[in-house]
């Protein structure tokens, strides 16, 4: 699961559980019923993936607290996780930086204090909000990455008034000091990430150890993550992108993090054999 910050909701899994909770809450389902539903739906994760299990209980506690319905059993579980430093240990095992671990520790201490403070009013039920994608198909996006260089990504899809307002975006290999121009996008490749053995996956009977970095980015998360992104131009996208059986979703902050990790990952796992030119999406075909 992707993590793009040290906050309680700064991860794909955490934000998904939180959204699932309040989608059900807005349908008028009780907090207790929602909690039971989400436990059932995530039972395998809770039982077999300790790092995500911690995140699950943090989100449930936060959502229940916001509804003024924090269960004592949930609070005790979260308190135990935080005071035992279990979650911080998982971060260490995932090779998080020492600065991020310190930030995470402060977040957890404040979170525990928050849970012990009564909320004045329960979060109100609200009608579902529909979203339009932040960017248009063909937009060339640039942003400053964690290594100080400019990165670039091409928007492959957009949609109007849907639950998430998803853009599917191809992250490119652009990694340069100067702000990229449209011509730089035309010449770039889609970044293909070499996967570790634990992240390799099967589709059918075929094992995949390389993954093109094309993922869904949702409009409803955009303001929350506050990533500065500039549109440098728009290119005609002729090839329709089909997500297929393996749909990836990223937080917007991951645009700034993925490519800077490339060199280190390739030292460990080797360079990918797959090459996907961005021009594959930009070339008009007559058949």
Question: Residue 102: enclosing H or E segment and its boundaries?
Answer: helix 98-115
For residue 63, give both structure tokens: 């959502």
Let me know the angle formed at the C-alpha of 209 by 208 and 211, rounded to the nearest 5 degrees: 85
Range of 17's domain?
A: 12-115
Evaluate if residue 245 carries a pLDDT over 70: no
227 shares its domain with 274:
yes
25 shares its domain with 103:
yes
Evaluate if residue 286 carries a pLDDT over 70: no
165 shares its domain with 51:
no
Residue 41 domain flag: yes
pLDDT above 90: percentage of residues in the chain: 55
21-40 average pLDDT score: 89
Interatomic CA distance for residues 71 and 69, integer angstroms: 6
Interatomic CA distance for residues 212 and 189, integer angstroms: 10
**Predicted confidence band of residue 2 (pLDDT cuts 50, 70, 90):** low
Q: What is the pLDDT of residue 20?
A: 87
Mean pLDDT taken over the chain:
89
62-69 average pLDDT score: 95
Residue 93 domain flag: yes
Partners of residue 141 on adjacent β-strands: 153, 231
179-190 average pLDDT score: 96
98-125 average pLDDT score: 91
112-123 average pLDDT score: 90
Residue 150 domain flag: yes
Let me know the angle formed at the C-alpha of 278 by 188 and 215, rounded to the nearest 5 degrees: 110
Residue 1 domain flag: no
Residue 81 domain flag: yes
Q: What is the pLDDT of residue 83?
A: 94
* Residue showing tokens 């739906």: 41
Domain boundary among 115, 150, 178: 115
**Predicted confidence band of residue 4 (pLDDT cuts 50, 70, 90):** low
Question: Which position has the higher pLDDT, 94 or 74?
Answer: 74
Evaluate if residue 151 carries a pLDDT over 90: yes
Q: What is the pLDDT of residue 1?
A: 42
Residue 48 domain flag: yes
Evaluate if residue 13 carries a pLDDT over 90: no
Question: Residue 276: enclosing H or E segment and its boundaries?
Answer: strand 276-277
Evaluate if residue 287 carries a pLDDT over 80: no
117-131 average pLDDT score: 83
Residue 28 domain flag: yes
209-214 average pLDDT score: 91
Q: What is the pLDDT of residue 251?
A: 86
- Number of separate domains in the chain: 2
100 shares its domain with 165:
no
Partners of residue 202 on adjacent β-strands: 207
Residue 95 domain flag: yes
263 shares its domain with 168:
yes
Evaluate if residue 259 carries a pLDDT over 90: yes
Give the residue among 35, 47, 46 at the shortest CA–CA distance from 74. Answer: 35
Q: Would the pTM count as exceeding 0.85?
A: no
83-103 average pLDDT score: 90
Question: Residue 43: enclosing H or E segment and its boundaries?
Answer: helix 43-48
142-152 average pLDDT score: 97
């Amino acid at each position: 699961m992707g993590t793009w910050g040290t906050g309680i909701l700064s991860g794909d899994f955490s934000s998904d559980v939180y959204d699932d909770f309040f989608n059900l809450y807005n349908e008028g389902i009780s907090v207790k019923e929602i909690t039971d539903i989400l436990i059932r739906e995530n039972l395998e994760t809770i039982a077999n993936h300790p790092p995500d299990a911690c995140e699950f209980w943090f989100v449930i506690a936060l959502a229940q607290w916001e509804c003024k319905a924090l269960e004592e059993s949930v609070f005790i579980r979260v308190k135990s996780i935080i005071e035992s430093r279990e979650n911080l240990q998982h971060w260490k095992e995932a090779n998080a930086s020492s600065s991020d671990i310190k930030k995470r520790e402060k977040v957890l201490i404040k979170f525990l204090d928050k849970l012990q403070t009564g909320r004045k009013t329960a979060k109100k039920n609200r009608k579902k909000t529909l979203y339009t994608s932040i960017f248009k198909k063909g937009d060339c996006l640039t942003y400053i990455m964690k290594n100080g260089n400019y990165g670039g990504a091409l928007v492959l899809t957009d949609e109007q008034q849907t639950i998430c307002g998803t853009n599917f975006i191809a992250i490119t290999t652009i990694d340069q000091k100067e702000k990229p121009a449209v011509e730089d996008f035309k010449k770039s490749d889609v970044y293909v990430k070499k996967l570790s053995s634990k992240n390799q996956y099967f589709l059918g009977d075929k094992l995949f150890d390389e993954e093109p970095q094309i993922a869904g980015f949702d409009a409803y998360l955009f303001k929350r993550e506050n990533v500065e992104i500039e549109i440098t131009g728009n290119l005609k996208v002729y090839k329709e992108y089909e997500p297929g059986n393996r749909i990836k979703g990223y937080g917007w902050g991951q645009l700034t993090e993925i490519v800077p990790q490339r060199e280190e990952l390739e030292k460990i796992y080797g360079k990918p054999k797959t090459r996907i030119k961005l021009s594959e999406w930009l070339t008009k075909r007559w058949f």
